[in-house]
Chain A
Amino acid sequence: MTSSLLFNVTTIAYFAAMVIFILYLASKGSKVALVATVACWIGFAANTAAIGMRWYEAYALGFEQAPLSNLYESVVFFAWSILLIYLIFDVRYKHRAVGAFVIPFAFFGMIWAQWSLDATIQPLVPALQSNWLTYHVITCFIGYAGFAVACGVSTMYLIKIGKEERAAEGSPIGGILGMFPSAKVLDDLNYKAIMLGFPMLTLGIITGAAWANYAWGTYWSWDPKETWSLIVWFIYAAFLHARFTRGWVGRRAAWLSIIGFAATIFCYLGVNLVLSGLHSYGAA
């Protein structure tokens, strides 16, 4: 059993889950949703095992490093984090339609990693040889995953709210949209996902600062990656305060959540691929 085989299983399972969730929206059969959820769990288990295997494989090559050392490894970990947060939400709230809008993030991440990223295990340069790297990456990615779930839910909210407002009072919304949770529930899920993601991102920024201070002597140097993580943080802080401000709840909050996730993805990938900086992760 090698990690690459397990990663293939992961990708296939996420693909299956995604397709079955979409079938579920069309067919409305709760058994269908159950099958999709089982596929999620299988994928998650395979993803977990694959990361574990890769860790072991790196040690076997003599590199004492967590499997979070290059872009490939970070993308598969991101997919893992998204599933983690999604499954927590599934266990707690059981709104299965959400899967159709969240699992695609994990699937497209996996397929991108498998198809076009360099999967060879490489040793770390001295600047990255630190336990702080592990803490920093894990907290950031769990934060990002919370935002991915929030983005999926916000998209559903924006699709649903217009219909809900137009629908005559009391008459239920049919069709695929009828399978969505109500706008109120979606709004609440959005908030819950960000409530999970935001403190994790905060921890991620702080562990990053602590590491930078330990390794380079400055906890903050306004390098593009740091700055973008702060931009993301500002956006979600604005989101949290939008709750208390008339005129900012509902649609605008949903848009803030989507913009926040776009900024998150830019922070994660765009900075390395488009801008330059200290973080050399993406230059793969």
Chain B
Amino acid sequence: MSKQSNPVDRLWDFFCSLKLTITILILLATTSIIGTVIQQNLSPQEYMQKLGMSESTYNLFNSLQFFDMYHSYWFLSLLGLFAVNLICCSIKRFPHVWKTVREPVLVADDGLFKTFSNLDEVVADGSMESVREKVTVLLSKKFTAPVITEQDGKIHFFSQKAAYARFGVYVTHLSILIIFVGAMIGNVWGFKAFVNIVEGTFVDSIWGRSDSQTPIPLGFEVHCEDFEVTFYEDGRRPKDYVSKLVVKENGQEVLRKTIEVNDPLQYKGLTFYQASYGQSGDPVFRFRVQERATGETVEVVGRQGKHLPLPGGAALIPMGYASNYQSFGPAAQVNIDVGDHQHGNPFIVLQQFANFDEKRGGAYIVTLLEAEQDYYTGLSVTKDPGVWVVWIGCFLMVFGSLTAFFLSHRRIWVTLQPLERGIGVKVGGVAHRNQPAFSLFFDELIKDFNDTLVEK
């Protein structure tokens, strides 16, 4: 940066500087640590009570936006500066690279030859014409067909390979900007929501994560026909949970899919993910009841609080359920209404111990056969119209950086010049990557030049 330059030039140079790039990258790396150490997006109470932060610390961190730092103004500004740096740098350098690739220097003068890391000279026998022919064939066979320029009695050859490798860096950089754009599209036009659907029911709206007061209408219905969870043999770790979902629009079934973790359902730009599950409402009980006096046995089915009629005019009322009552397994608390709404004392019946209730000595012997609990399936719902842009960016990033790192732009110049005895053949070559390999290739090439151009 020269001192005379005006402020605009200086600003431009600042934004184009690679020192700035390194500074920003290191700043991004170090500041990102903050959000991994301080848990993000908790409530003030949680910070002060659970994490034991003093009020003054809380206020300081809050004003620095440390509690949602990846969306803070300063962090976003840093990302913005990063993008500006990237754009300016590319604008500054790209035309030069474009020219290197599209308008290569076809004629290498002595000054240019001096800069080549691979350089050799051969004195060829024969005429300019015959040597020209041989060099053309040789380059075409061993490298690529050359562009030939005749100038001032000399003949100049230029060959290059993988020139587009130079663009790899720019594709990589562009891909970063594309990913930024994709992320912004997602932030503006996308959302994240959730919904719980009880087995056998449906929903037609969902709830946003940030504003969970007003439902977002879907414009279609999502039915959950069935939900199932299976466990590993240890009985506690869930192996898999699946929901049978059906999408209906105007009463017509349009889509049916069984979803599970890692296998969502997609419809109209929305994706429904299996996120959680839980038990919903009261179980449906099935009991076998025997009237002691007559020996008559019936099976009754019903939910909690319902009167399930028994022989002799009484009714059984399920009152509560425990999936593992004092480690005796599933149990129901029930009550018998002997008519006229006269309730007896509640008592417990067990599913795994069928004769348990006999000992109670009541007029009815009750056995719990089954308690089936309804589940609800917890779905997270997202819409992200920017995600495809992000994937395109990711693809370009991989493609671009592989090109940038593993392909090498190789160039070879040859100049023929008549000497007093024979033809002077000057050969120079450069590679922008993997120089050792290119040097080996170049040495081979020089050997070929000697073999074909010099008569033994």
Contacts and interface: CB of A to CB of B under 8 A. Distances in A.
A245 B18 contact: yes
A242 B397 CA distance: 20
A213 interface: yes
A19 interface: no
A216 B275 CA distance: 7
A34 interface: no
B405 interface: yes
A209 B394 contact: yes
A202 B401 contact: yes
B241 interface: yes
A210 B179 CA distance: 13
A238 B401 contact: no
Interface of B: 18-19, 21-22, 25-26, 28-29, 32-33, 35-37, 39-40, 70, 183, 192, 232, 237-241, 260-262, 264, 271, 273, 275, 380-382, 384, 387, 390-391, 394, 397-398, 401-402, 405-406
Contact of A234 (B28, B35, B394): B28
A181 interface: no
B387 A234 contact: no
Please classify how large the interface on chain A is, using the bins under 10, 10 to 19, 20 to 34, 35 or more: 35 or more
A244 B232 contact: no
27 contacts: A123-B239, A126-B241, A126-B262, A127-B261, A195-B406, A199-B398, A202-B397, A202-B398, A206-B394, A215-B262, A216-B275, A216-B380, A217-B264, A217-B380, A217-B384, A218-B192, A218-B382, A219-B387, A224-B36, A234-B25, A234-B28, A234-B29, A234-B32, A238-B29, A245-B18, A245-B19, A248-B22
Given A199-B405, A217-B264, A224-B36, A235 B29 contact: yes
A244 B18 contact: yes
Interface string A170-214: 000000000000000000000000010011001100100110011
Contacts of B402: 199
A227 interface: yes
Contacts of A206: 394, 397-398
B32 A231 contact: yes
A129 interface: yes
A213 B182 CA distance: 14
Given A129-B261, A220-B183, 12 more contacts: A198-B405, A199-B402, A199-B405, A206-B398, A214-B264, A217-B380, A217-B381, A218-B384, A227-B70, A238-B29, A242-B22, A263-B29
A225 B264 CA distance: 24
Nearest to B379: A217
Q: Which of B192, B239, B405 has the most CB of A within 10 A?
A: B405
A217 B18 contact: no
Given A126-B240, A206-B397, A217 B192 contact: yes
A275 B38 CA distance: 9
Contacts of A127: 261-262
A115 interface: no
Contacts of B271: 217
Interface of A: 123, 125-127, 129-130, 132, 195, 198-199, 202-203, 206, 209-210, 213-220, 222, 224, 227-228, 230-231, 234-235, 237-238, 241-242, 244-245, 247-248, 263, 271, 275-276
Contacts of B26: 234-235, 238
A217 B382 contact: yes
A248 to B, nearest CB: 6
Given A126-B262, A219-B387, A219-B390, A241 B36 contact: no
A129 B239 CA distance: 9
Contacts of B239: 123, 126
- Rank and list the top 4 A-B pairs by shortest CB-CB distance, nearest first: A217-B382, A234-B29, A126-B261, A238-B25
Contacts of B40: 222
A238 B22 contact: yes
Contacts of A213: 387
Contacts of A210: 391, 394
Nearest to B237: A125
Which residue among A216, A220, A276 has the maximum number of chain B CB atoms within 10 Å of its CB? A216
B273 A217 contact: yes
B401 A198 contact: yes
Contacts of B36: 224, 227-228, 271, 275
Contacts of B275: 216
Contacts of B237: 123, 125
A148 B183 CA distance: 32
A123 B260 CA distance: 17
Contact of A231 (B33, B240, B405): B33
A231 B29 contact: yes
Contact of B398 (A203, A214, A218, A228): A203
Nearest to B242: A126
A22 B40 CA distance: 47
B354 to A, nearest CB: 34
B232 to A, nearest CB: 6
A275 B37 contact: yes
A137 to B, nearest CB: 15
A129 B237 CA distance: 14
Contacts of B192: 217-218
> Which of B22, B26, B37, B39 has the most C-beta atoms of chain A within 10 angstroms of its own C-beta?
B22
